[in-house]
A and B are shown apart, each in its own frame.
Chain A
Amino acid sequence: MHEMQVVEVKRIVKETKRIRTFILDLDVNAIPGQFVMVWLPGVNEKPMSASYTKGDLGITVLRLGDFTRRLFELSEGDLLGIRGPMGRGFKIYGDRLLLVGGGVGVAPLAPLAEEALRDGKEVTAIVGALTASELLFVDRLKRAGARVLISTDDGTAGRKGFTTDVLAELLKEESFDQCFTCGPELMMAKVLDITREHRLPTQASLHRYFKCGIGICGQCVLDGTGLRVCKEGPTFRDKELRKSHEFGRYWRNAAGQKIYFGRR
């Protein structure tokens, strides 16, 4: 049972010009990779990954359209409704972990890194963004003890290019036990292609349009496998994603129509 809990925003952290973290007055014990449905009364409700998973729940939001713009108008003390945490989180295997996060996709990876490092694992994180000022959680990852490799599309920090360029080079030199990725789907599809060549098992956190968030409405079902992103996901194993001809190609909008990511 996931009843709506309306709680106060305790603290708002400006991470970058377009990304903010909202720490909520809601005690949780979530698995990194799990999500919550966030209700802004009178506006809408959307899924957000838990970016702080133990104690006070945190969500980290990129300003994009109407809903996130309205979220950014909130002040500390304002109310938000939360359903969850729900869905399947990441599962840690092995000792040498590799994280690949693009943009706000670093949100669910940061608590994963913290948890793994607390358990004595080694964590390398590849963090990418359009530009230096939009890099998310680099300090947080370093503070937790992770090795952080950076890429920016415009070359204002780290390697000029994409996270996948850094990944391809790194895997020529080093080996890891498990890879975790979250970010734009075409980036994740590329990550899976690269890690497959190196036989590196990979888990990816997917984004689909959510309505119910509880596995009833069918809105987020992946073609090929029939897996529900909100219920059997949002994190999936590479093997599961390879069985879906939808992954990396298209998603479905609020009406359920197919929308292709790029060229067919």
Chain B
Amino acid sequence: MHGLEVEVAGIMLKNPTMLASGIMGLSAASLRRAVRGGAGAVVAKSCSSQPREGNPNPTVIEVPPRGLLNSVGLANPGCRELAEELRKLGGEVPVIASVYGFSPEEYAENAVLMQQAGVDGVELNLSCPNVEGTVFGYREELAQEVVSEVKRRVKLPVFAKLTADAGDVVSVAKACEEAGADGITAINTLRAMSIDLTARQPVLGNRVGGLSGACLKPVALRCVYEIAEEVRIPVIGCGGISTGRDAVEFFLAGARAVQIGTAVLYRGLNVFRKVAQEIAEYLEERGYSSVGDITGMAHR
């Protein structure tokens, strides 16, 4: 497939589809399945310094149409154990680690561990509360502290993953760029809830969770469009992408690459190959020679 190669903050992808963090990302064996499914890059599960069990089940439920609500609660085996897993991956496609922490220093320490494990880039999951309970990604100055601290400690490309739950996601993106971020991933899940009519209570064990899938797409697309207007660093689109046409919308809005999560449920682990193929078909039909040709076109 021609014209699918893209470059994001110095990382070369054979196609612009990436596995989103938190989907099948806890071990080398599971990340390899996304690689075999055609992903141009994979993002591992977000990890913290210490292992975390996360919230009680139900932690992931289906919500129509084609959506998920999750409250996995940042469960992970800890950065050290996950780093050992990522070390096993053979460099077939770029591997991005996702880290979080309860302080900027913890983010940075985890990013350093991941750099030592040989990953190609680090994504900062800013949807994590700090010690005072404020989510880093909600406020410009908090996001900025995290990005600067991580950039001070690692040489790798650093991506800030933002949430639309922030009052003003565009200002947060700009703050991250100023602090030295090499790219923006937009967006994480949106806070949401589901209530069962018979049990008459929220279904998720944590009551509140994050919404992903088809229903998130228009919000994600708006965020990518607005962020791309304001920053010069590359933007990776994420939220409700399940077909090549969805991905193309994000490219037109200004995304350099896309991440796919929930669609794994509906189209299987080969969703990456399918979406890449569909992007190639769109390019060919319309006479474009590369993804770069259409990136940001909707801004004209």
Contact = CB atoms under 8 A, between A and B. Distances in A.
Interface in B46-88: 51-54, 56-62, 64, 68, 70, 72, 75-78, 81-82
Interface stretch (B125-133, B199-207, B232-240): B199-207
A256 B188 CA distance: 22
Given A6-B199, A255-B53, A256-B76, A215 B58 contact: no
B53 A254 contact: yes
A45 interface: yes
B62 A79 contact: no
Interface residues of B, number: 44
B22 A81 contact: no
B231 to A, nearest CB: 31
B56 A44 contact: yes
Contacts of A218: 23-27, 30, 45
A255 B78 contact: yes
A6 B198 contact: yes
Given A3-B62, A37-B58, A212-B60, A226 B32 contact: yes
Nearest to B88: A223
Interface string A227-248: 0100000000000000000000
Contacts of B185: none
Contacts, number: 129
A251 interface: no
With a 10 A CB-CB cut-off, give which of B25, B45, B75, B264 has the most chain A CB atoms: B75
B23 A217 contact: yes
A255 B54 contact: yes
Interface in B27-43: 27-30, 32-33
B262 interface: yes
B203 A254 contact: no
Contacts of A222: 29
A217 B205 CA distance: 16
A1 interface: yes
Interface in A63-96: 79, 81, 83
A221 interface: yes
A79 B198 CA distance: 8
A4 B265 contact: no
With a 10 A CB-CB cut-off, give which of A4, A42, A222, A252 has the most chain B CB atoms: A4
28 contacts: A4-B203, A39-B57, A39-B58, A41-B196, A41-B199, A42-B201, A44-B205, A46-B57, A81-B58, A210-B57, A211-B57, A212-B60, A216-B68, A216-B264, A217-B60, A218-B24, A218-B45, A221-B33, A223-B28, A252-B77, A255-B54, A255-B75, A255-B76, A256-B26, A257-B77, A257-B78, A257-B81, A258-B77
Interface of A: 1-4, 6-7, 37, 39, 41-46, 79, 81, 83, 210-219, 221-226, 228, 252-258
Given A41-B199, A44-B57, 13 more contacts: A4-B203, A42-B201, A45-B57, A81-B199, A212-B59, A217-B23, A217-B24, A217-B60, A218-B26, A221-B29, A224-B29, A253-B53, A256-B82
